[in-house]
Amino acid sequence: MASGRGSNFQALIDAAERGEIPDADLVHLIVNKKDAYALKRAKKHEIDYTIITSHDKSRREFDQSVLKLLKELNIEIVVLAGFMKILTPEFIDTYRNRILNIHPSLLPSFPGAHAHRDAIKYGVKVSGCTAHLVDEGIDSGPIIMQTSVILSDNETEESLADKILKYEHQILPKALQLLCSGKIVVNGRHVKIKSN
């Protein structure tokens, strides 16, 4: 699921084409905005897609429409690749520990929609990105993988976003492969990766 540019979606497509996520099948893209650039990427790579607009629906109506589609398509795992909406508890429960999100900070620091701005404002020297499972909170689910980056003295929101994005594109496909291969064991907040 994506809302905009879809560079993380593209990273999944590229990793799949390189054979790096052999246990995943990228079957369908869902966007909640008609003009999401992610759609162009799906078309180019011949991945089916559906637009389910969210601006004209309640959260519950939107989630119900998405869940109906996921059921029809027998979708097992949902990736939020730059999907900028909070899902309802019912949605989360239906896909418990099967929804993956990528977030541009070292969680639990700086959850929410302005992670880069918040990190710079706070004055941190290190930030990064987090691939995590989605629970009912905002960017609060069990952490699968993180990568750090060092901030420079003159870092801007844009430069930090660029710096972190490269690593998002690396860890999201890796986390997806782990999830799809059944190697992830979740115990409360703790995620362990089975070695075989």
Residues that bind ligand GRF in the complex, under the rule CB under 6 A: 2, 4-8, 81-82, 102-104, 165, 168
Compute the CA torsion angle 154, 158, 164, 170 (nearest 10 deg). -150
Alpha carbon distances (Å) from 67 to 75, 83, 154, 159: 9, 15, 44, 36
Q: Evaluate whether 189 touches 142 at the Cβ level (below 8 Å).
A: yes
Considering the complex, what minimum distance in angstroms separates the CB of residue 132 from ligand GRF? 11
103 is catalytic: yes
21 or 102, CB closer to ligand GRF?
102
Q: Residue with CB nearest ligand GRF?
A: 82
113 or 182, CB closer to ligand GRF?
113
Considering the complex, what minimum distance in angstroms separates the CB of residue 194 from ligand GRF? 26
Q: Evaluate whether 147 touches 172 at the Cβ level (below 8 Å).
A: no
66 or 164, CB closer to ligand GRF?
164
Q: Which one of 45, 55, 103, 114 is the catalytic residue? A: 103
Q: In the structure encoding, which two tokens stand for residue 88, read together?
A: 């309802």
User: Which are the catalytic amino acids?
Assistant: 103
